[in-house]
Amino acid sequence: MTKVIGLPKACAALMLAATGVPGGVAWADMQSLDDGELSRIQGQSGITLEMDLQLSADRVSYYDDGRGAHLEGLKVGSSENPGQGAFHRTRIDIGADASLNLDYLVEDRRVEFSDIRLAGAPSVSMGGIFFDHSLQGTLSIREGGGVGGSGYTFDSAYTMTGGRLGYRTNGNSVFLDDITMNVEALGITLEQVGDTLELISENVTGNWKVGAIRFSDDPLIYGRATDASGAPLASYGGLEGDYRISSRTGIKAGGREGQGLRIDNETTIHSANFLYLDDGNALALRDITGEYRIYDLRIDVTNDNQGRPALGLTLGGLEGELAVGSVEVGPSGQSFGSVNLAFAFEDRAFNGRNYTNAVYLQGGGHQDAGAQGLRLAAEWSLSNADLSYTDNGNRVIVSGLQSWGQGDLTVNVTRNEIRNGTRFYDGLRIGFEDLSAGYRINGLRVGDENAPLQGGTELLLALGFYPAYEFDMDGHITLGAGGASGEGLTINSDIHVRNGKAAVVAAPYDEGAGEVPQKGLWLTEMTYDGHVRNMTVDVTEEGLAMATEEAWGTMDVGNVRVGTSDDGASFGRLRMQSYEKDSSALIRPGGAGDVCVGGSGSSAAACGALGGTWETRGDEGVSIAMAKVLAPAASDEKKNALLWETNRSVDGQGRPVNGSGTAILLNDIHTSDGGDFDGDGQDDNTYGIRTDLAVDVYPTRVIRTVDGVKRVEHPLGFAVQAQSSFKELSINNIDMIHPVGGAQTAVYGAVLQNVDIRANLTATPIP
């Protein structure tokens, strides 16, 4: 059976779904009741309808300007007893105010479709989705909208249990398991205002829980939480949350081109909490508030900018602000502090090119993964964002964050195999193809948004972020289920970066007098190949724990430039290779606490007596404990090495040719425990380089000279307490390389042993 639903009907279905009415009611085919069924209808105060609903459709299509999008293999039935109907009971009552009151119960219903396909690309599919649930709730509909007399007002409340929402490609699936949800939405109005269908929800409250997010690589395991042996499928962990929101949504006919849909929305988050749970340990975002406005979101069945058939979502703009009152980890709820993000996505020119915000959904995913998958041809323009972090009331704002980019993201659920020549891993694979992107930060502000713009963005390097970065990227990150033990994440990734321009030190791009080329210390003409194998991420009682089985990469910087990224003078080429095995990190809330700076002593009095300064940095902040185990060279690709090359010859376009100059090479740098203590014939290597960092935002001490007079000031900055130690760090050889004479070894080995470095540092942005 093929059904074609036109736009008005689709809108009506969308509206009913938003109010919690069981979706099957909208599309079910009516059948005549026999006498037995009729006898169960109770009609004293309305009527009661009971049915076992089983529905299937080969294809449900939506057409926009003659282009079709198809939902294929649509089925509605029982989730517990495949092939049978799902039980529905609806009590219908007409109130004294002429309202229609529905009291409904749905048991173990599964709504699924096997493929989402575009008519213009019939050979590939976006994948399939299934949704299992039981529902019990009420819906009251009465005449009269929010503004005028026309329209309707809805009161809805329902509880969903036994929920399961899955995405499936090529026989592999990822699904939210054991979903429970309670929603109350009273006084929702739906009415036509001019040419707009307006939906207003003044007060929607709810809570929800996802027991586990599971992965299955067995095509026979479909919509079940256990494998063939009855053991639970591997889990990414669970989710939990609650919210109170209000929103106003406008829906109009008309896409970006011809037919289609336009959506405008304003939403206010009055309160919300979000928890990620891993074996019972929570990473919690608490006291969330905010608001956002979506304007001129258009939905079309169209072609993307490369002419590929797609379901296009193009955005006029999105702006808003989101505040998280506390980011917590661990059973005691210790906090990192609070964060706030203000953002605006809108069309803007970067580097002389206009960028917009759009996603074009296509079928197929990665070309070697199979016919099912999702491809998102994306373009974005983050015209401005301010991200702030507050630690015990001390606030630092990363100001003027901008980002732009264009390229394809692919999404597939994959299993551990080599398929069509490409290596895949268990999990949700997010691929990057010809992604060309960039971001930049204008500077830091301390205290509030109106504080003067300052430098200091290079401090973000400590967190692994360049102050500015442009790159072309291919590769993937695959998120597998299960951590080091029990629930959690396992990450495998292969990333290739080309044409990279990364700032190590960067001045603002706009100091208030208009945009200027950013000056700084740049890594340009950069390529990077990075590989990670079996990196586990777990939320533990102590914090966020990461452990990496193996990671290796090569960063080849064509030029290290001072000045602008395009024409700054160059120090030459720098190539850094890294190879780690069994490295780990733990990120936990809480900074240094009480510190004796410049002295020693465990109390303020003892510290002061020994010449130190006692500082109370509070209970918030960030602590990081890392162990980087640098492995001995396994191959030319897998090793730790550093090469600096200068005096290169140039090609016909005047560009330096790597490998043509003179160079110094520090080869095969690795750690060791200082001997073979387990008798396996190789030096033990478990200690690595261990670093403990405690970072707080705290008033620092700065001496400024004004008119020849020194003045002590205490601006906010970053206070870092650090300890780094290693048992042994070796360099196998240091070579001098000449383009004609080849490599000559200058040092035949260097061994640094028994090192413990401790530091108390403050880093303050310079105005």
Partner 1 sequence: MSRHQLLSKAAAIVAALMCSPFAIAEMAPLDDAGMAEVSGRGGIYLSGDISINELGGPIQNDYFGRCNEQDKKCGARLAYQLKEGGGWMVLDEIRGMFAFEGLTLRVRSIDSGFGGDGELFNRDVIELGLPDTVRFNDVQFKIAASNTPRPTDPGFMQTDIFDVEMQGDVLMQGNLLVFPEGNP
CB under 8 A: which stretch of 5-13, 221-229, 375-383, 563-571 binds partner 1?
A: 563-571
Using CB under 8 A, which of 225, 322, 339, 597 touches partner 1? 597
Shortest approach of partner 1 to residue 702 CB, angstroms? 6
Q: Does 591 bind partner 1 (CB under 8 A)?
A: no
According to DSSP, the residues that pair with 173 across neighbouring strands are 168, 216
* For partner 1, the closer CB: 180 or 686: 686
For strands 281-303 and 468-481, give the pairing. unpaired
> Closer to partner 1 at the Cβ: 217 or 556?
556
Per-residue mark of binding to partner 1, 486-505 (x: CB under 8 A): -------------------x
Please report how close the Cβ of residue 662 comes to partner 1 at its closest, in angstroms.
10
Residue among 133 and 670 whose Cβ is closer to partner 1 = 670
Identify which range of 50-58, 200-208, 506-514, 622-630 contacts partner 1 by CB under 8 A. 506-514
DSSP alpha helix (H) spans, 51-107:
none
Query: Which residue's CB is nearer to partner 1, number 16 or number 526?
Result: 526
Q: Minimum distance between the CB of residue 232 and partner 1, rounded to whole angstroms?
A: 41
Residues in the interface with partner 1 (CB under 8 A) total: 73
- Within residues 599-628, the interface with partner 1 by CB under 8 A covers none
Smallest separation, CB 453 to partner 1 (Å): 8
Site string for partner 1, 36-55 (x = CB under 8 A): --------------------
Which of 675, 676, 711, 743 is close enough to bind partner 1 by CB under 8 A? 675
Tokens of 319: 């702006």
E-strand ranges in 673-748 read 689-699, 702-706, 709-713, 716-738, 742-747
372 secondary structure, DSSP code: B
Three-state SS letters, 225-276: CECCCCCECCECCEEEEEEEEEEEEEEEECCCCCCCEEEEEEEEEEEEEEEE
Task: Name the minimum Å distance from CB 445 to partner 1.
Answer: 12
For partner 1, the closer CB: 410 or 457: 457
**In the set 201, 362, 412, 457, which binds partner 1 (CB under 8 A)?**
457
Closer to partner 1 by CB, 412 or 565: give it.
565
Q: Which stretch binds partner 1 (CB under 8 A): 24-32, 73-81, 417-425, 706-714?
A: 706-714
Cα–Cα distance for residue pair 285/559, rounded to 1 Å: 41
Question: Which CB sits closer to partner 1, 301 or 441?
Answer: 441
Shorter beta-carbon distance to partner 1: residue 171 or 674: 674
Q: Three-class SS of residue 18?
A: helix
Q: Between 390 and 565, whose beta carbon lies closer to partner 1? A: 565
Q: Which is nearer to partner 1, 325 or 717 (CB)?
A: 717
Query: CB count, 10 Å around CB of 535?
Result: 21
- Output 94 or 761, the one with its CB closest to partner 1: 761
- For the CB of residue 524, give the shortest distance to partner 1 in the complex, in Å: 11
Residues 83-122 that bind partner 1 (CB under 8 A): none
CB of 649 to partner 1, least distance (A): 9
Nearer to partner 1, 4 or 761 (CB): 761
Nearest distance from C-beta of residue 672 to partner 1, angstroms: 10
Task: Judge residue 710's burial from the number of C-beta atoms within 10 Å of its C-beta, 0-12 exposed, 13-18 middle, 19 or more buried.
Answer: exposed
The whole-angstrom separation of Cα 212 and Cα 276 is 10
One of 18, 701, 737, 739 touching partner 1 (CB under 8 A) = 701
Alpha-carbon span 61 to 201, nearest angstrom: 29
Residues 6+ apart with CB under 8 A from 654: none
In the shown chain, the binding pattern of residues 747 to 766 toward partner 1, with x for contact by CB under 8 A and - for none, equals xxxxxxxxxxxxxxxxxxxx
Nearer to partner 1, 83 or 654 (CB): 654
Q: Which of 61, 169, 410, 454 is the binder for partner 1 (CB under 8 A)? A: 454
Q: Which residue number, 241 or 508, has a Cβ lying nearer to partner 1?
A: 508
Could you tell me the smallest distance in angstroms from the CB atom of residue 636 to partner 1? 21
Query: Out of 707, 740, 742, 744, which residue is the one contacting partner 1 (CB under 8 A)?
Result: 707
Q: Find the farthest-apart pair of alpha carbons in the chain and give their distance in angstroms, rounded.
A: 102
349 or 516, CB closer to partner 1?
516
Q: Which of residues 642-671 bind partner 1 (CB under 8 A)?
A: 646-648, 656, 661
Task: Report the nearest approach of partner 1 to the CB of residue 746 (Å).
Answer: 8
Per DSSP, the residues of 504-571 read EEE--SBSSS-B-PPPEEEEEEEEEEEEEEEEEEEE-SSSEEEEEEEEEEEEEEEEEEEE-TTT-EE-
Distance CA 342, CA 331 (A): 30
**CA–CA distance from 413 to each of 126, 526, 687 (Å)?**
11, 31, 36
Distances (CA, A) of 186 to 90, 146, 202, 272: 20, 12, 8, 18
Can you tell me which of 107, 177, 191, 458 binds partner 1, judged by CB under 8 A?
A: 458
Signed CA dihedral, 655, 658, 662, 664: sign only: positive
CA–CA–CA angle 601, 602, 606 (5° rounding): 50
**Which tokens in the block code for residue 495?**
């990333």
Site stretch for partner 1 (CB under 8 A), options 167-175, 193-201, 570-578, 620-628: 570-578
Tokens of 565: 């990224």
Neighbours of 31 (CB within 10 A): 9
Rounded Cα gap, residues 364 and 594, in angstroms? 55
CB count within 10 Å of CB 196 equals: 15
Q: How far is the CB of 19 from partner 1 (least distance, A)?
A: 53
Taking CB under 8 A as the binding criterion, the range among 94-102, 277-285, 312-320, 696-704 that sits at the site for partner 1 is 696-704
Do 38 and 274 contact (CB within 8 A), yes or no?
A: no
Site for partner 1 in 128-157 (CB under 8 A): none
Locate 374 and state its tokens: 């999702």
Whole-Å CA distances, 140 to 21, 65, 92, 96, 152? 10, 36, 10, 12, 10
18 φ/ψ angles, rounded to the nearest 5 degrees: -65, -25
- Of 114, 235, 570, 577, the one binding partner 1 by CB under 8 A: 570
C-alpha 680 chain-centroid distance: 42
Residue 587 CB, nearest approach to partner 1 (Å): 22
Is the separation of the CB atoms in 362 and 408 below 8 Å? no
Token couple for 49: 């309808």
Task: Determine which helix (DSSP H) or strand (DSSP E) holds 676, and give its type and residue range.
Answer: none
Query: Binder to partner 1 among 110, 375, 445, 519 (CB under 8 A)?
Result: 519
Cβ-based nearer residue to partner 1, 94 or 650: 650
Binding to partner 1 (CB under 8 A): which residues in 720-739?
720, 725-728
